[in-house]
Amino acid sequence: MIPRYTYPEMAQLWSDEHKYENWLKVELAVCEAQAELGLIPKKSLEVILKKASFDISEIEKIEREVHHDVIAFLTSVSNHVGKDSRYIHMGMTSSDILDISLAYTLKETNKLLVSSLRKLMTSVKKQANKQKNVPILGRTHGMAAEPTTMGLKLALWYAELERNLHRLKAASAEVEVGKISGAVGTYAHIDPKVERIVCRKLGLKPPKISSQIIQRDRHAHYVSTLAIIATSIEKFATVIRSLQRTEIGELEEPFARGQKGSSAMPHKKNPIVCERMCGLARLLRGNALTAMENVALWDERDISHSSNERVIFPASTSLLYYMLVKFNDVISGLRVDADRMLDNIFESGGTIASQRLLLSLTNAGLSREEAYGIVQRLAMLSHKTRKPFYNIVSEDPEVSEQLSKEAIEKVFDIGFYSRHVDYIFRNVFGK
């Protein structure tokens, strides 16, 4: 996490202060559960709830000596509580507080991620409806194909974001799981009811079974899901970057008043935000690989995962949140040059109608092989001579023998290619 790519609301959730607040919240919830089961005197619980606190500078000082962050935290809390602190952390192991607190923090970050993803979906839907019938050249292999509409391109993005929302909810549910089962996960020193009570208090679910830790396949799925969402944003950003190129000029990300594009070339308006989205997505995919490496730990636990998780969870959630918010700004302020889109369609000289011409000739009675040969020959001639395909087709005797002038003109009507826009929009957005 670096400030440049971290919004304050997410930074606060991963701050040391908030981490210790959640640790204390867990320890107090455990004490309350133990008291509810009659395992801690009510008077001692009252003292603990009243006095329990921590001092970050004290924790840091203690940790430098003991080299154990949880012990340092508990020592600081004990110094505030006094003799009744003997009931704090009773029957627990460090992973109990670490894993359930991580789950609770992820639950908090997931609210931000889901909310920002929904906002992006809303912006994409709004733009899709606005650009619903705006013709744009479809491209395959980077080459001119057939016309589509800008609205359909955006509708495709919306459907992908909708799938990502389902993925995020499912992956979030898998990591919003807390365990308090003690050393190696046997509940030998703590009642399983404590786990259920505390999870209920925190809005988490207890696992069916755990070792000393929550199993990391859950977290691998979660971080991989974050990476997939980031990769979708990269995909959309790549389209915008591509179509902003000087020779295409169909789309343009927002360019603020006073913004500068280049230190050397004043004319430049570079797609820097979209490029940033692509770069950050690479980081999230790297973090997903690290999360997968954390699945295969030794026996009931080791801590080879612990060090990198201090990086990948704050980084992945913060970066994705940043990407969702920032790309929402891009979509909301996206400049669409409909005139340039039409120019690029006609710049092809009409070869985009080759398939429709092929089908018209086959419907007129030619075999597919015969029709394909005629159309390809004429298209290659158009490419070579740069003469409009429409003119070449209209003047070709083999075509004229099969199709009337009116039929040829109909072949080149670009409005034909968007006749199913309403059907597709109903599929994507509903009624």
pLDDT at 168 over 80: yes
Q: Would you state the structure tokens that stand for residue 293, as one six-digit string?
A: 């490496």
Judged against a pLDDT cut of 90, whether residue 39 lies above it is answered with yes
State the pLDDT at residue 337: 96
**Band of pLDDT at residue 344, cut at 50, 70 and 90:** very high
Q: What is the pLDDT of residue 257?
A: 77
**Coil, helix or strand at residue 139:** strand
207: Cβ contacts below 8 Å, ≥ 6 apart: 177, 179, 214, 215
Average pLDDT over residues 197-209: 96
Write the CATH number of the domain with boundaries 351-411: 1.10.40.30
Mean pLDDT of the chain: 95
Backbone angles phi, psi at 335, to 5 degrees: -95, 120
% pLDDT > 70, the chain = 100
Q: Which of 341, 423, 325 is nearest to 123 (CA)?
A: 325
pLDDT tens per residue across span 214-255: 999 999 999 999 999 999 999 999 999 999 999 999 999 987
Determine which helix (DSSP H) or strand (DSSP E) holds 251, and give its type and residue range.
strand 251-252
pLDDT of residue 1: 73
pLDDT of residue 28: 97
Assign 268 a pLDDT band (cuts: 50, 70, 90): confident
User: Distance of CA 22 to CAs 46, 68, 180, Å?
Assistant: 19, 17, 15
**What does the pLDDT read at residue 373?**
96
d(CA 31, CA 142): 63
First to last CA, the chain: 42
Question: What pLDDT, on the 0 to 100 scale, is given for residue 285?
Answer: 98
Distance CA 378, CA 390 (A): 10
Check residue 419 and report its DSSP letter. Answer: T
Interval 384-400 mean pLDDT: 93
pLDDT for 417 equals: 85
Cα 409 from Cα 375, distance rounded (Å): 15
Q: Please list the residue range(s) of the chain that carry CATH number 1.20.200.10.
A: 93-254+261-348+418-431
The ranges of the chain annotated as CATH 1.10.40.30 are 351-411
Q: How far from 48 is each of 27, 101, 194, CA to CA, in Å?
A: 10, 19, 17
Whole-angstrom distance, CA of residue 78 vs CA of residue 142: 65
Residue 265: predicted pLDDT? 79
Contact (Cβ atoms closer than 8 angstroms) between residue 180 and residue 195: yes
For the domain spanning 93-254+261-348+418-431, the CATH number is: 1.20.200.10
Give the per-residue pLDDT at 256.
Answer: 73
Predicted confidence (pLDDT) at residue 70 exceeds the cutoff of 80: yes
CA distance 430 to 401: 45
Rg (CA), the chain: 30
Residue 393, number of CB atoms within 10 A of its CB: 26
- pLDDT above 90 as % of the chain: 91
Mean pLDDT for the stretch of residues 73-93: 96
Q: CB of 100 within 8 A of CB of 180?
A: yes
Query: Helix (H, G, I), strand (E, B), or coil: what is residue 56?
Result: helix
CA quadruple 43, 44, 47, 50: dihedral, nearest 10? -90
Q: State both tokens at 151.
A: 């609205």
With 0-12 CB in 10 A as exposed, 13-18 as middle and 19+ as buried, what is 308?
Answer: middle
pLDDT of residue 167: 98
Token pair for 315: 């980084």
Q: What pLDDT, on a 0 to 100 scale, did the predictor assign at position 266?
A: 77
Residue 212 has pLDDT above 80, yes or no: yes
pLDDT-derived band of residue 418, with 50, 70 and 90 as boundaries?
confident
User: Which range among 54-68, 146-160, 261-275 shows the weakest confidence by mean pLDDT?
Assistant: 261-275
CA distances from 203 to 105, 215, 268, 369 (A): 11, 19, 51, 65
pLDDT band at 2; cut points 50, 70, 90: confident
Cβ-contact 158, 128 below 8 angstroms: yes
Q: How far is CA 320 from the centre of its chain?
A: 6
Helices (H), 54-93: 56-66, 69-81
Residue 22 has pLDDT above 80, yes or no: yes
Among 132, 129, 204, 138, which residue's Cα sits nearest to residue 172?
204
Average pLDDT over residues 142-146: 91
Q: How many CA atoms lie within 13 A of 126 on its CB side?
A: 12
Q: Please tell me the predicted confidence (pLDDT) of residue 259.
A: 77
Kindly state the tokens that stand for 405: 């002038």
Buried b (16+ CB within 10 A) or exposed e, 156-167: bbbbbbbebbeb
**Res 161 pLDDT > 80:** yes
Q: Please report which helix (H) or strand (E) contains residue 239, including its range.
A: helix 217-243
The two structure tokens encoding residue 92: 């627990």
Cβ–Cβ contacts within 10 Å for residue 425, how many?
A: 20
135 beta partners: 149
* Per-position DSSP letters for 143-169, written without gaps between them: EEEEEEEHHHHHHHHHHHHHHHHHHHH
Give catalytic residues, as residue numbers: 141, 262
**CATH level 3 topology of 8-90:** Fumarase C; Chain B, domain 1 (1.10.275)
Amino acid occupying residue 36: E
